[in-house]
Structure 1
Amino acid sequence: MQEVVENRAVTFKGRNDPNEITSETLNLGTCYSDDEIVIQVHAAALNPVDLLVKAYAYSWIAGSEPKTFSRDYSGIIVRKGKHIEEFDVGDKVVGTFDHLFGKEGSLSNYLTLDPKKHPSITKMPSFGDSEYDDFVLNAAWPLVFGTAYMGLGLLDKSQNLGPGSRILVIGASTSVSNALVQIAKNHLKVKSVVGICSKSSFERNKELGFDHLVAYDEGPVTDGVKNLIDTEFNGGKFDLIFDSVGNSEFIPRIEDFLKPISENSYYRTIVGDAKLKYTSPSVLRSFIPTEFFKRFGPFKKYNYKNFLLAPSKNYMELGAKMISAKEFKPSIDSVFGFDDYADAFDRLLSNRAKGKIVIKVT
């Protein structure tokens, strides 16, 4: 059956090649298998990982074919295979499409996927009254929510955080940290969440749920956090230190801030020990060699984990549940039209975004 449509996508070929919109015809009658669905994408979010992926797109690794950006998406199912039972044509869905140097990505008009192979998908919840429509808001949360979910030890069940727990968040203003504090306070009912950010971001981050904030631009941040431990927590240390920006200031004095390893405390990071330059990353620069034996092997002194998002339906279902209960809402920095994708990438590169950058695809 011939049901031909135009499928436009923002693509690149190599790490030094320009981004551009490319187009190909797509036959909606034959482009999917019995186990796949076809989603007409309405909105997609940019993430720093998009910059990282392009930075590593050497031809000997990624080839020279066009590659599509982005993972987060929201849209409507327009076709489904006969083996699909959970979803129907017309369903509004939201999720992440996991790929590396893929021909398909969410920054395109249509996305074809197998929900069993890409399980980070759920029916789209409604946010209710907002200055942004539901497609924009839903495109903004899956990747950061899932990363925060893993950062709290919920996916691998490595920690059981709750009302008696304390968490320190390095980089309180990032989108991942915004999701993490909302999950910690509204779902896990964590007693105390401390964030590190600039003094100018205090008001905004307080509204998200942080109980205490320490400014990194008002003297040594380690001294500020240690003073908080001594005065507010009666010497009580943290069950979890979560780093979303790349920081090494706490590591030389880790025993002053993190509970003993015997109490199953964790230091988790999504970046490493130094701020990552996404356009020209250095893996070696991201780790402190002298800490290796303190983190791994028989001389291990504290639980350390550097991780990337793993696809899971678990965090998508929790996110949808919390949204419906008005317990979670992503922060939006800016919204761009599809043809203005270059401005959206410029905003991402500026490193000044306060919340997600979303592109309206349809």
Structure 2
Amino acid sequence: MSKTINRAVTFIDSRTPATITSKEIDLDSCYDENEIVIKVRAAALNPIDLLVHALYFRIPFSNYPKTYSRDYAGVIVRSGQNVDAQWKIGDQVNGCFFHMYGESGSLSNYLILNPAKQQAITHMAIPPNSNQDPFVINAAWPLVFGTAYSALFDYGQKLGPDSKILVIGASTSVSYALIHIAKRVLHVKTVVGICSTKSIERNKVAGFDYLVPYDQGPVTEEVGKLLVGDLANEKFDLIFDSVGNNDFFPVIDKFLKPKSDNGEYVTIAGEHKIDYRSPNPFTLSGARMLLRIVNPLKGYNTHVLLLPCKQEYMKVGSQLISEGKYAPLIDSVYEFNDFEKAIDRLKSNHCKGKVVVKVTDD
């Protein structure tokens, strides 16, 4: 019997809550010759899921269910005749499914995709000496790891042992991935992180060389002391902001190398921390960030990172995991029927790692 029920977490627009909807599909005819069907075992929530839900305003012809989530881990159960031979039925795979208000998303029993187009996919890594569910582990890292990888590799910089990186928001999952890539792949010797006092010991273990608390005085002054002291007044090659911050812009020339030396300021959040319970796209901080990017007179490079769909970072992440060099941070794991609790946990802004939902058990 090839017919089955595909349950998915969906929403209609910003005024409708997320809910589980069901749709009958035929596993023998729901895909084309270029697609695979993945039975999703686990999916992770990301802040982008909350944003696309909260910011979707009802427009004509938009009353279709839009599916949650992008990160996934599962098993290929169908494969079209034109699909590359590396993707076989029975293969365990994970990745990041790129969509915007799509009817397909990873928080569903089955995910149908074209791996030649949805290239952020790889075979699952099995970490050594881990007691955690490998599907949960592999659902937890694609988007955050890809974001960190892109910040380090996609803007023309040649970062290496002599480079210096400042990370604003050292405690986030993206920054956790970034420190592992910087140390394990690029062998950067100097990575400075900014975090709360209570997170310093945790981030030391992660690999940061220096940590500056943001709750013990003006952060630019504290980083400035470090810069002229231990760092011998050598400016940063990259400032990466994973939380939303504008403290350094008024004094950026003191901290970041100029455009002529490929100094890069990369942010994934803009100028202010986002309140995921009630995000507002019409803030002045968003407009100011845009002006910073397009301003031809500024002496440094500025980018708001939008994650590209590439297999490259998936292969690197999978390799680091299989070698025991990177273990994704997991905050909590929920059953599929408890997805609302998972969403509430993500909205709390207290997560220390990824929120993962176990979609199916077999």
- Structure 2 length as normaliser, TM-score? 0.96
Query: What residue number does 2:254 align with?
Result: 256
Note if 1:21 corresponds to 2:20.
yes
**Residue 315 to residue 339, structure 1, CA distance change in 2 (3 Å):** same
What displacement does 1:191 show? 1.0
Equivalent in the alignment of 1:190: 188
Map of 1:77-226 to 2, 5 A cutoff? 77-84=76-83, 85-152=85-152, 154=153, 156=154, 158-226=156-224
2:312 and 2:52 mapped to 1: Cα distance?
25
Runs of 4 or more above 6 Å deviation:
none
- When normalised by structure 1's length, the TM-score is 0.96
**d(CA) in 2 for partners of 1:300 and 1:62?**
43
Letter in 2 for 1:345: I
Structure 2 Cα separation of the partners of residues 301 and 288 of structure 1: 19
Q: Which runs of 5+ in 1 are unaligned?
A: none
Q: Give the CA deviation at 1:283.
A: 4.3
Counterpart mapping for 1:63-74 below 5 A: 63-74=62-73
Query: Could you tell me how far apart the structure 2 residues matched to 1:288 and 1:248 are?
Result: 13
Aligned to 1:285: 284
Q: Distance in 1 between matches of 2:20 and 2:343?
A: 13
1:104-123 deviations in whole A, cap 9, x for unaligned?
Answer: 10000000100011000011
Contact 2:43 2:73 in 1 (8 A): yes
The one-letter amino acid paired with 1:315 is: Y
Match among 333, 346, 349 for residue 351 of structure 1:
349
- Contact conserved, 2:165 with 2:237, CA < 8 A, in 1? yes
Q: Distance in 2 between matches of 1:234 and 1:288?
A: 35
Query: Is residue 337–residue 361 contact of structure 1 (8 Å, CA) maintained in 2?
Result: yes
1: CA distance between counterparts of 2:213 and 2:310? Answer: 34
- 1:26-72, Cα deviation, whole Å (9 max, x unpaired): 10111111110000000000000001101121112881111110000
Opposite residue 318 of structure 1, the aligned amino acid is V
How many residue pairs get matched? 358
Identity among equivalent pairs (%): 52
Please report how far the alpha carbon of residue 291 of structure 1 lies from its aligned counterpart in structure 2 after TM superposition.
Answer: 8.4
Conservation of the 8 A alpha-carbon contact between 1:62 and 1:101: no
Secondary structure, counterpart of 1:112 in structure 2: strand
Q: Counterparts of 1:198-347 in structure 2 under 5 Å?
A: 198-278=196-276, 279-287=278-286, 289=288, 292=291, 295-347=293-345
